[in-house]
Amino acid sequence: MLDGKNILIGITGGIAAYKICELIRMYKRSGANVRVICTPNALNFVTKLTLQNLSQNEVGIEEFSISDFKPEHISFADEADIMVIAPATANTIGKVANGICDNLLTSVVCAFRKPIIIAPAMNCGMWENIFVQNNIDKLSAAGMCIMEPEEGFLACGSNGVGRLCSLDKIYEKTVEFLKQKKYLSGKKFVITAGGTIEAIDSVRYISNYSSGKMGIALADIAFEMGADVTLITTVDTEKPYRIIRVKSAFDMKSAVEAEFDKADYIIMAAAVADYRAKNIADHKLKKTDAETFSVEFVKNPDILKGLFELKTNALSNCSGQSAIKSPIIVGFCAESENLIENAKEKISKKGCDYLIANDISRKDIGFSSDYNEVTILKKDGTMKHLPRASKREIATKIIEEIYE
Ligand code: CTP
């Protein structure tokens, strides 16, 4: 099943380290080439000789034992198709989440640009710790796959959540990543995410509650399916693909239009502000004695509508030429009432190929939730409802639907 695949396992210093010997065997039985890196503490629980024998490869521990002309952490990162860190201790999770590279394993993760699976295992109190949870959120937001620990009797004697998830689950997830069809390879996706930020003066702005999670999930999935992804976003995020940071609707418009000619798909998942302040003060506006304060707003350009106009112009200027590239344009439609009715009106007004309608009035889906439920409208008038699921699952289905 895993013939020709290179799996890099990172073992950190937790009692569950002994279980990873069996995981190595499972990968090897499937035909994978397995390399192992250990933190120095991991060797308190499992020996280098055992890991070496099972993986049939030298085990990496020291960062500066350079075997060839490339630093060890770069050659490990280059070689592997996937990295699996199991068990991942709270200590290593904290280091990875904060970009600390103080041993070979953490340096490799920092340089790694392919899928990373992290399987934490620790005492239940540590797992529930707010800082550990914040670090887990950071890793997950950076696109790493977290295999949540399970509940049960822990090696420290307590009962709770913290036990390494089953090796079968880790194995299946690895196969899922490695077998993922890269059917978007060669396709360029431009995706926007997050709410735009419209300045009022040098210290104040207006924006909206959009978290950017849906757009980022779309970018992650397109990237995992092999696409060349550019994410244009107001959200501060680190990803293994190209990110263009913007603030205002105007910035976003220029960034998206600059990518237009190269794109096969443009997905406008951003919540673009409809208005901006007419005059932006270049200093902090002072409080006055008046009880009210007004800012005059003017309309922002409609980026999505503009893309349709660019597409129409490009197509009409090239009549007769068959090789004209015109991206598939996908819009989002955030509504708090009359979802489908408003979405139908928007798709015809904006002229996009697909419109993804979501109900932002529901608390269990939408804006900052990790879940969504949407209806995909196509320009031919047909519709497809996607029931409530994680934003990653919804993103996968949207991409499958729009991919032609
Ligand atoms: N959009 C855009 N430029 C704007 C406003 C919206 O490109 N100035 C895009 C959004 O990224 C989204 C789609 O248009 O893909 C619909 O956005 P939405 O906020 O639902 O609709 P609006 O056009 O802003 O209309 P309204 O606020 O009245 O619902």
Question: pTM score > 0.75 for this model?
Answer: no
Whether residue 333 has its Cβ less than 6 Å from ligand 1: yes
Whether residue 303 has its Cβ less than 6 Å from ligand 1: yes
Give the residue ranges of DSSP H helices in 241-302: 249-259
**Does 183 reside within a domain?**
no
Per-residue confidence band for 29, with pLDDT thresholds at 50, 70 and 90: very high
Whether residue 267 has its Cβ less than 6 Å from ligand 1: no
Q: Exposed, middle or buried by CB within 10 Å (0-12, 13-18, 19+), for 25?
A: middle
Ligand 1, atom nearest to 342 Cα? 29
Residue 282 clears pLDDT 90, i.e. is over it: yes
Looking at residue 44, the DSSP 8-state letter turns out to be G
- Active site (annotated) includes residue 352: no
Same domain for 213 and 320: yes
Q: Parallel, antiparallel, or unpaired: how do β-strands 205-206 and 198-199 relate?
A: antiparallel
pLDDT of amino acid 321: 54
Same domain for 96 and 63: yes
The predicted-structure confidence for 312-371, as pLDDT tens digits, reads as follows: 888 777 765 555 668 999 999 988 899 999 999 999 999 999 999 998 888 787 677 888
388 backbone dihedrals φ, ψ, rounded to 5°:
-50, 130
Same domain for 198 and 66: no
Same domain for 207 and 158: no
Q: Parallel, antiparallel, or unpaired: how do β-strands 328-335 and 265-268 relate?
A: parallel
Same domain for 167 and 211: no
Residue 52 maps to which CATH number? 3.40.50.1950
Considering the chain, what percentage of its residues have pLDDT values greater than 70?
94
Angle at 129 between CA 127 and CA 130, to 5 degrees: 125
Q: How far is the CA of 302 from the centre of ligand 1 (A)?
A: 7
Give the residue ranges of DSSP H helices in 194-247: 213-224
Residue 269 maps to which CATH number? 3.40.50.10300
pLDDT of amino acid 298: 98
pLDDT of amino acid 90: 97
- Of 165-174, 236-245, 327-336, 362-371, the range with the lowest mean pLDDT is 362-371
Same domain for 156 and 258: no
- Of 246-260, 262-276, 387-401, the range with the lowest mean pLDDT is 387-401
pLDDT of amino acid 91: 97
Domain count, the chain: 2
Same domain for 235 and 171: no
Same domain for 248 and 166: no
**Does 1 reside within a domain?**
no
Same domain for 212 and 121: no
Find the domain containing 112 and state its range: 6-178
Q: Parallel, antiparallel, or unpaired: how do β-strands 228-233 and 242-245 relate?
A: parallel
Q: Give the closest residue (by CA) to ligand 1 atom 21.
A: 333
Whether residue 334 has its Cβ less than 6 Å from ligand 1: yes
**Does 288 reside within a domain?**
yes
pLDDT of amino acid 73: 57
Average pLDDT, the chain: 91
More confident residue, 392 or 12: 12
